Structure 1
């Protein structure tokens, strides 16, 4: 092992410890870590800005930016207040019923949008519901982001790693529906039960608050009907673009930016109002994280680990499936699952090509492991980072360990349930 590899690992591990302990703001840690990766020569300007394998994933950055602008403008119409009051009244103010409603809505939307877009839409509604009922939004936000990662695994467009896997493996939208969606439905039912076990003591009930909420008229919350119509029209076009992105040959990030630009053009709002809700710290954190992981990719560290695991299982495809499932869950909890899948997908493709049909379940093991493993820690998936940024900005900070203590439970249960599914479906 070279000195350069040792230094890169030290930078990454040190940064991860600082992020986990929260002694230093995470955006500061990520940017300093990225700078150190450049200084030690683990990456360079070409690797950072232009490499698909080791650089900043601009699709993620610009997808987030575009959707943050759209959601920020939409929020000014009063739609989120309307939805918050409507949902609270339908659930009669019962916190767990509200949580189940939001979890299921989030999971379904995440299957047909990407999970980052979904949490950007759902989080403001959640914050308003909890404010109206005077309860902590933290359990709700954690449950929603986890359900978005679970629901997003069901389809090709639901989670960014799935797009990478589909591209490498030549897999279609229907392939994901047939092979992954059945177990996701089961996992959602199990997850709702886990939510009751994990959060029931935090879901307080204030009858006085509920009475006041039930007396509200949700229609009065809409402040600007023309703005609402314009925003929803553009959002519908953006969603259609996401679903049809392979036909229109536009990446989701481009669709989001075009939608944001169109909405800015037709609403003519002040610049301050347009960019007020953009989570700039979250975008910078992502950039720094991509650069740090990219340094490990450039030095071959992640590829070496993956190759060693593949060689260890040989032609034992059941063992390889189990190893890839749990290994992907572990690594996706440590590094963002997008660069992880981008690194592992070529290796899995080689194994599938060599093994033929018996090796095909490896794709589904990688999909489930990476997507569900993203729930393990606060930095395991893009949606996690986005929700933590929104929570902090609204005065409800969620610490790394608060998220992770729940995430480890959910990941362990959901990933473990995937193994008998894969065995019964493909090997029994």
Structure 2
């Protein structure tokens, strides 16, 4: 990492990240500008940007998002999100914290079965409508759901994309993740609810008039296109089945999402233009720019250098390796997207596992927890975070980088601390 291109790439990344944090310009413009600088510097070329599996734009993420956004756009036209919003508000009797607790638990459970990005795409429209009905600020609810999605996604092999990479490298099964990580994630969701009660306590104001109005609503009246709803739910069920059966069918989630979107648009009478208008194109462009910038850091060896330094610093102590891997992964995943980070770190972890023996499997759990939970630290730490910020902005409930991050850092610090305690107690005591 001694050549000038590597240092220039670091400077370009830091500059773009600073602009994203400062919000002086839109985050999409900052990410695309940073990507352009990387290309101009020669830190990455066209081949590395568009075609390289390790350094290029992750088209699986882009097209998964696009396909699911299209499906959600069709479902939005049926009134189903308003139906669920009214149902949830009535079950919680209009009490804000009960509503948040319900949405957080639903999000965490769904994120364990689906991927966390798909979950927040489905739950965010419901949240916006619930908050509108109860005259509550949407931002705290959306932030709590994103945090829950990243915690819930850590529980299973399919819950978060980094877990799929880890499972492939470590030869780990769905049940391995379930047995080793799900118990901890269940505890962390309870802790998250307690933190939300403290962090957002000022917004939990019960409005008796609004609550009474909601209790009088009939949710069935919200459904204004039953036929389209049935078509949409059938296609969504097929898509979910495709996600769950990935180990058997070997179709990438992006392919399943695109097939589902194409099928739904084909069998329904919705206008294609209307569906495409529901796609969050600025969010997709932001991801593309971020992938190019991180790809350039991988190409120039910056991330590999950082990962190797992290691995070297652990020495031969298994507990020290696990804890440093956990904390280091959390820090780095809060700065760069956790997918390319894990893709880079997985081979190094595999070497450590092979060399250490004995309690070596704990290193995979340390990497998974650090990457998944560390994604909560900042607004750009995980894909779900960026997606929700885009949805919020589009619906007039803008969440700034620092608004998200000041809560995300607290939750990350607490959950990583508890994860360290869990790893120590379960695997070393």
* TM-score bracket, shorter-length normalisation: over 0.9
Indicate the larger mover: 305-314 or 259-268. 305-314
Matched residue, 1:191: 192
Separation of aligned partners in 1, 2:357 and 2:170: 12
Matched residue, 2:20: 19
Separation of aligned partners in 1, 2:419 and 2:277: 41
Matched residue, 2:145: 144
Separation of aligned partners in 1, 2:269 and 2:80: 19
Tell me if 1:121 matches 2:122.
yes
Map 1:198-237 → 2, pairs under 5 A: 198-237=199-238
Separation of aligned partners in 1, 2:205 and 2:55: 46
3-state SS of paired residue (1:42): coil
Matched residue, 2:381: 380
Q: 1:30 Cα shift?
A: 0.5
Matched residue, 1:42: 43
Map 1:334-345 → 2, pairs under 5 A: 334-345=335-346
Separation of aligned partners in 1, 2:232 and 2:354: 46
Separation of aligned partners in 2, 1:205 and 1:254: 44
TM-score (norm 1): 0.99
Matched residue, 1:96: 97
Matched residue, 1:315: 316
Q: 1:207 Cα shift?
A: 1.4
Per-residue CA deviations over 1:292-311 (Å, capped at 9, x if unaligned) read 00000000101111111212
Matched residue, 1:301: 302
Q: 1:291 Cα shift?
A: 0.2
Per-residue CA deviations over 1:165-191 (Å, capped at 9, x if unaligned) read 111111110010011111101111111
Matched residue, 2:245: 244
Matched residue, 1:78: 79
Separation of aligned partners in 1, 2:173 and 2:405: 33
Q: 1:205 Cα shift?
A: 2.1
Q: 1:356 Cα shift?
A: 2.5
Per-residue CA deviations over 1:20-77 (Å, capped at 9, x if unaligned) read 0100111001101001001111101111111121111111101000000001101111
TM-score (norm 2): 0.99
3-state SS of paired residue (1:82): helix
Separation of aligned partners in 1, 2:117 and 2:259: 17
Per-residue CA deviations over 1:181-206 (Å, capped at 9, x if unaligned) read 11101111111000000001122222
Structure 1: give runs of 5+ residues left out of the alignment.
none
Matched residue, 1:394: 395
Matched residue, 1:59: 60
3-state SS of paired residue (1:383): helix
Separation of aligned partners in 2, 1:304 and 1:409: 28
The count of corresponding residues between Structure 1 and Structure 2 is 428
Separation of aligned partners in 2, 1:309 and 1:127: 41
3-state SS of paired residue (1:380): coil
3-state SS of paired residue (1:358): coil
Separation of aligned partners in 2, 1:252 and 1:44: 27
Indicate the larger mover: 202-211 or 371-380. 202-211
Per-residue CA deviations over 1:243-271 (Å, capped at 9, x if unaligned) read 00110010111111111111011113112
Separation of aligned partners in 2, 1:7 and 1:313: 29
Separation of aligned partners in 1, 2:277 and 2:314: 51
Per-residue CA deviations over 1:77-131 (Å, capped at 9, x if unaligned) read 1100100111111111000000000000000000000000000000000000001
CA RMSD of aligned residues (A): 0.7
Separation of aligned partners in 2, 1:244 and 1:57: 21
Tell me if 1:30 matches 2:31.
yes
Q: 1:134 Cα shift?
A: 1.0
Matched residue, 2:5: 4
Q: 1:420 Cα shift?
A: 1.2
Q: 1:399 Cα shift?
A: 0.3
Indicate the larger mover: 360-369 or 205-214. 205-214
